[in-house]
Structure 1
């Protein structure tokens, strides 16, 4: 988790104002939309990891406008808080709540890892960055996605799996499981 958090925050710090309207491999989002998504759901993930009551939030992600002010600092702090909370073994044990339903703590931890790795890659790729990713984080995300990708597709969270060779790097296999084409390139 610490490596995945570090990878994501490195990308977030590289995002400039001119980058916010760029398309991302996560086809429903621009860079701004994806950052808004992370800022919207991150506090709910954090309270779920900490097994606390969920925080109040805007009625919907679509109506929230969270990429304002010092959004980079807020997002980097949120990522650090999530990684720190998930360093406690208790966060991975038992159950917690998020979105009204009870879920295993290990599922929430896995969701956070996938958010860090996959959306970190989405953002970096939108910027045209070919930065290296932590191999441990990529393997962890692939493991989580092997267990949850099909359910995610049924919930319209992930697109159809993309075919990649079995010999592809773990990051490419994780991305493919999430419905992303590891070869995606920004236009222009």
Structure 2
């Protein structure tokens, strides 16, 4: 079981890694394909931005699904992403945040805050890699982040639901026998060897 007091810091490490990758983006990079089937870098960044706003709103007590909608990123996609990331980091770090029941309409209900942050953590470990891979950047996470993300990834149900259109993850792939980070990727249907 993830230790609640560490969750916010572990999630922040994952988000800051994604910020470091996003800061390297050039306009030509936005049209590159990503490991997220059918999504370009721009699509992925827009999704990541929307997810930050959705989680932040949920932790601020607003469960309106409209906060999760993907919107245009404007002329400076990296700046739009950075603002959303800073918002969610602030929402998670707010006093009493871990004591809340958090509405996550995308997942069909409300969840204890620690579980919600766990969902966010695994998403941003994986999405940091999704964003970095087409750019030729290698992302690294502390052993603590890798183990926390692996714990969450192991709890994500596998099976036919992952074959449906719009599923967050593809069916699990065989383990590569590599690092806990590679196990996170394969458990969530991503090949560590993906290439543009």
For this structure pair, what is the TM-score category when the shorter chain's length is used for normalisation? Answer: 0.7 to 0.9
**1:159 and 2:176 are equivalent in the alignment:** no
Q: How far is the alpha carbon of 1:28 from its aligned partner?
A: 3.1
Q: Distance in 2 between matches of 1:89 and 1:154?
A: 39
Q: Aligned to 1:67, which of 73, 93, 101?
A: 73
Contact 1:4 1:113 in 2 (8 A): yes
Query: Residue 93 of structure 2: which of 49, 67, 87 is its match?
Result: 87
Q: CA deviation at 1:88?
A: 4.6
1:107 and 2:112 aligned = no
> What do residues 51-99 of structure 1 show as CA deviations (whole Å, max 9, x unaligned)?
33437458x54xx3x2212321221122123223323573333422122
Q: Count matched residues.
A: 181
- How many Å separate the matches in 1 of 2:13 and 2:39? 25
For the residues of structure 2 that align with 1:125 and 1:8, how far apart are their CA atoms? 12
SS in 1 for 2:23: helix
Q: Which ranges in structure 2 are unaligned for 5 or more consecutive residues?
A: 1-10
**Partner Cα distance (1:82, 1:55) in 2:** 16
1:180 equivalenced with 2:194 (yes/no):
no
TM-score with structure 2 length normalisation? 0.80
Gaps of 5+ in 1: none
The alignment status of 1:76 with 2:82, answered yes or no, reads yes
TM-score for the superposition, normalised by structure 1: 0.83
Q: CA RMSD in A?
A: 2.4
2:149 to 136, 141, 150: 141
Give per-residue Cα distances to partners, 1:14-36, cap 9 Å, x unaligned.
11110011111111311011011
**Partners of 1:54 and 1:15 in 2: how far apart?**
31
| 8 Å CA contact retained: 1:149, 1:178 | no
Offset at residue 149 of structure 1 (A): 4.2
